[in-house]
Amino acid sequence: MSTFSHVRGLGFHVPERIYTNADLEKFVDTNDEWITTRTGIKQRHVVEDETCLDLVYGASVKALADANMDADELTHVIIATFTGDMPVPATSCVLLERLGIKNKVAMDLSAACSGFVYAIEVARALINLDPSAKILICGAEVLTSRVNWEDRSTCVLFGDGAGAAILTAGTEEEPGRVLDTLLSADGKPALNLTIKDSGSAHPYRLGDTVGKENFIEMQGREIYKHAVRSMTAISTEILAKHGLCADDVDVLLPHQANMRIIGAVGKKLGVPEEKVFVNVDKYGNTSAASIPIALAEAKESGFIKNGDLVLLTTFGGGLTWGASLIRF
């Protein structure tokens, strides 16, 4: 017999400092019109003195409070990120110390922008194995540490932030039930979005200088095509699997990459604009943090109401993509 998994609490945290498009004009060869028409982004939050761990901690504390849960009740901590404070130890392990807890299962997960949806599926599997599990999942990124501020095609896209959720077992009738999650990946076009430095294929050597390989490199046109096609296909698949269609979706919450992708996915799925949650204009693309920030903000603002069927869909480097259905 399957065990049902439920979202019990949500929270997000972003840095206070904001870079507007006008701010970027001061040191990047770009302008507000160029950024807005191509991406829909008006501003992004950028770390100043904070680290990825600080963002994770802020989001996690809010999610725990929303779930009315103490940190020590957690059994697992899963953090989706590729911009953690350091390769080792994992950000999840260090978070345990910050939360004042120990002897929990902790691990980081790398699936780029799809990381949070991947973490949902990992949490569901763990809860199915042990219904007493209480799991914190978080998507967090400090992407501005990995952008080339001289590359106007990429640096305008990204921002920093974190979003978190608490998942536990529950009954079929309780709100927040994760109906299903589908995941997929394809390594063939992975080089369309890369950070090549620090991996074993591109090791550091003493005296090496910083180069373009230290930062995000992306073939925007190819990423756009893959993103729209993959997000639409996996969303259609998960709806069909449960005998549902676009009319049954109360809220479509896509990865907040840019407005062109969001608009194209919504149109291809046949979901009206008024049902599509958008906050990319305020935060930019925060990668693994994108879905949980949007989910927490949509719930907090009342965009997601009790009883709503919410469709999450995402796409990221790897290439990875996924979709999840949640009944709130």
Q: Which active-site residues does the annotation give? A: 113, 255, 285
CA distance 64 to 53: 16
Query: Which residue stretches of the chain are H helix?
Result: 21-25, 32-39, 52-66, 91-99, 115-129, 152-155, 220-241, 259-269, 280-283, 290-301
Distance in angstroms (rounded) separating the CA atoms of residues 133 and 149: 43
What would the two tokens of residue 170 be? 């529950």
Place of tokens 């907090």: 300
* 18 in Cβ contact with 43 (< 8 Å): yes
Identity at 20, one-letter amino acid code: T
Q: Please, are residues 163 and 10 in contact by the beta-carbon 8 Å criterion?
A: yes
End-to-end CA distance of the chain: 22
Among positive and negative, which fits the CA dihedral 124, 126, 132, 138?
Answer: negative
- Closest C-alpha among 165, 180, 156, 181 to residue 9: 165
Distances (CA, A) of 223 to 192, 257, 313, 321: 7, 10, 15, 12
Which tokens go with 191?
């080089």
Tell me how crowded residue 51 is: count the other CB atoms within 10 A of its CB: 18
What is the sign, positive or negative, of the torsion defined by CA atoms of 108, 17, 283, 319?
Answer: negative
Residue 215 and residue 195 in contact, taking contact as beta carbons nearer than 8 Å: yes
DSSP state of 61: H
